[in-house]
A and B are shown apart, each in its own frame.
Chain A
Amino acid sequence: MKLLHTLPIFLSATLLVAQGPAGGRGGPGAAAAGPAATIDFSGMWTGNMQEDSMERGAGPELVDYAGFPINEAGRLWALSYDPSRLTSRFHQCDGYVAPYSVRSIGNTRVWEERDPKLQRLIAIHWYSQTFEGHRVFWMDGRPHPPAYAPHTWMGFSTGTFVGNTLRVETSHLKQGWLRRNGLPESDQATLVEFFTRHGDHITYTSVINDPVFLTEPSIKTTDFFRQPTDPGGWLFPCDDTEQVTGRAPDQVPNYLFGKHPFLEEHSSKYKLPLLGALGGAEGMYGEFEAKLKTATAAEARAKTQPSVGPSLTSRAVDPDPKNGEIHVLQVRGNVYMLVGDAGNVVVQTGDEGAFVVDTGGGKLTDKILAAINQLSSKPIRMIANTSFLPAYTSGNEKLKNAGSDPSVVGTFLAMAAPGAGSTASILSHENVVTRMNGSLGKPATPPGSWPIDTYIGDRLRKFHNGDSVELFHTPNAITDGDSFVHFRRADVIAAGDVFTTTQYPFIDVANGGSVQGEINALNAILARTVYEHSGEGGTLVVPGRGYLSDEHEVVEYRDMVAIIRDRVKAMIAGGASLAQVKAARVTADYDTRYGANTGAWTTDMFVEAVYNSLLKK
């Protein structure tokens, strides 16, 4: 028993320096296959109910963040969280992220996967009853996926044995909970875990590194006991339903900064100082006790509002390797995502020739073309532009001239556009052309880059390579000419600049963009997505920039834009000037994920776009 008590302390001390997968992505942290000796964890396990009882039971109370080294962004994100948000159809079945799954309720089944001929350990499967969280610890030395690969609730894990301990590194997690009272863990978090077996007992230690919401690693230990009999109940189907009727689709429940209606409920109930309940690294150490003796209510209250000062900037890993190469990721079936030249490019292949969505920023067009030729033995037939913006159209002319579109020969398009058919056809909303051809008084792009097959309504349809391909217009979002493209059979959506995982939306007010249009556009995408299980998988969404996503990333992004809109709108209603809105740091809880103070799209520019587009209305 003595050993059981001292081991977690020893581990905690040694793990303080534990880091996530080296470089965050790309595999340097991947473990090589360990020494021959391995520990068998196979069996059924149950977490110790006495530890993390709130998480294993009915859930923690609001504004109880003690013990977590959160930063200002994490605290403000949590304080903005109205639990009614989870009544949204798009959140009801959200799973738990791996670190939370381990600490939450339910039983776990573990089994090994071995090469049947050589009996080498390929993987250890850790399956949690709750949300059917199935983790795979790859033990065969494979690398972690690239940064532009999808994120999942369980993430991507590699393992190795260190003495009698299994060490697991996990990356590619979705945004989820540190606690399910709104305390967030970002999609940039990485996890290092240690599983040590002592007979029928596992000592488990987790180290969460989250550059977005934590100031130092969050280290937790817990214990598992082996169960001799099968408890059953391993499945966890979830259906979403109408939990709140009559709510407008653009309404995302949230509390404005400083307006949390239950701020002191938890601390008052247990007679704790509010400052202690608000979390943060300082509250984890003994010196904090002395501070609490002199802390004032005002000091605690100050932590519920953004601090005064400049905006913070993103700590997220850039999903684009930016190494002068085009990187190809198979999205599903015959649909691929090409990363590396500003906006992502999507390619659908088949007997009728390639269907390409967007053409990149123009710096690596030859390499994009070479990649497409590797994927498709047939020429490019159609190109869809989701926007007129250069990041998505700069390769238009070169890709168009490399292809052909026999389907337009003899049609009105061939009569209207001489040469049509001898090149690929470019499709877009009509407003893309008016922005590109100079008719609005701006410098025109070369005529060869202009779309010829355009639409002015809400939808353009093609049946290509055995798939129904639809372009949907999303009015006044990033610009006035945005479309997203849905490959219905493959169930892949190319979102264009309306959705990215890398920055605040580039709302181009001068070219017709608006914050309300952006929210509507994200909702239009969500109206076409279907998750596979627990709010993930199913319809895949290729962002204009960033990593391959699904419904969950889109809805988190939608929530963010709607919440920031609400804050700016409230300040405008109170008579605030643009300067006052900027100074208020209305994006403070999202800046460590999306913020920028330099470059083409800064936080200030985004806030200004939101402010101006709301004033225009």
Chain B
Amino acid sequence: MKLTFLSLIGALAVLLAAMPLPAHHSFAATYMEDAQPTEIKGTLKSFRIQNPHSYIQIEDEKLTDKEGNPVRWVVEWGAAAQLATQNVSATTLKAGDKVVVTGAPGRNPEDFRLLMRTITRPADGWKWPVGNQTFR
């Protein structure tokens, strides 16, 4: 019993050491995680790798706003340290890259937000996640 209890503590410690940093917000409250993922295609405008979570902005290749300007999506991704362990760094993506992203849609459609599920760059076949990579 004692050994089992201590083992549990040890396992928890290891688990928490690798635990993702939480966003200030609640994912469940912010995104419709149970909904069908949204797919967008467009041009990457910026990539901010930061805490608590990183963000990329993508200009949609088709969708426009009321003024006729391309819609700009904001896609939430993992914390800097998490992405670093998954071979994603500040130089992995650059402005101008053509990318395809799928993600859980934000609850407010007018915000054009997604919670990252997958991203690919068709030009060279780069993609994330690979294997069981995640930031949840």
Contact = CB atoms under 8 A, between A and B. Distances in A.
Contacts of A225: 9, 12-13
A254 to B, nearest CB: 11
A253 B111 CA distance: 10
B74 A182 contact: no
B23 A49 contact: no
Nearest to B74: A243
A262 B28 CA distance: 12
A236 B30 contact: no
Contacts of B136: 58
Nearest to B106: A84
Interface string B90-117: 0000000000000000111001110000
Given A107-B16, A225-B12, A236 B107 contact: no
Nearest to A63: B29
A227 interface: yes
A436 interface: no
A377 interface: no
A404 interface: no
Contacts of B24: 86, 91-96, 131, 180, 238
B105 to A, nearest CB: 12
Contacts of A262: 107
B88 interface: no
B132 interface: no
A104 interface: yes
B81 A244 contact: no
Given A46-B12, A241-B50, A62 B29 contact: yes
A233 B81 contact: yes
Contacts of B120: none
B111 A244 contact: yes
Contacts of A241: 48, 50, 55
A59 B22 contact: yes
Contact of B26 (A61, A107, A130, A237): A61
Given A244-B112, A246-B65, A83 B26 contact: yes
A83 B115 CA distance: 14
A58 B33 CA distance: 11
Contact of B111 (A61, A84, A182): A84
Contact of A87 (B13, B26, B111): B111
Given A60-B29, A84-B111, A49 B22 contact: no
B26 A59 contact: yes
Contacts of B57: 242, 245
A106 B22 contact: yes
Interface in A64-84: 82-84
A231 B16 contact: yes
Contact of A239 (B23, B48, B76): B48
A232 interface: yes
Interface in B3-17: 9, 12-13, 15-17
A200 interface: yes
Given A231-B16, A237-B51, A239-B48, A84 B107 contact: yes
A377 B17 CA distance: 56
B29 A244 contact: no
B16 A49 contact: yes
B21 interface: yes
A83 B30 contact: yes
Contacts of B111: 84, 87, 243-244
A243 B51 CA distance: 13
Nearest to A48: B12
Given A243-B74, A244-B113, A231 B28 contact: no
B52 interface: yes
A58 B113 contact: no
A237 B113 CA distance: 23
Nearest to B28: A61
B55 A49 contact: no
A182 B106 CA distance: 16
Contacts of A131: 24
Nearest to B26: A59
B27 A59 contact: yes
Contacts of A182: 29
A226 B10 CA distance: 10
A181 interface: yes
Contacts of B55: 241, 243
Nearest to B111: A244
Contacts of A59: 22-23, 25-30
A94 B23 CA distance: 10
Contacts of A91: 24
A231 B9 CA distance: 13
A226 B9 CA distance: 8
B66 to A, nearest CB: 10
Contacts of A96: 24
7 contacts: A61-B28, A180-B29, A181-B29, A231-B16, A237-B51, A238-B52, A246-B65
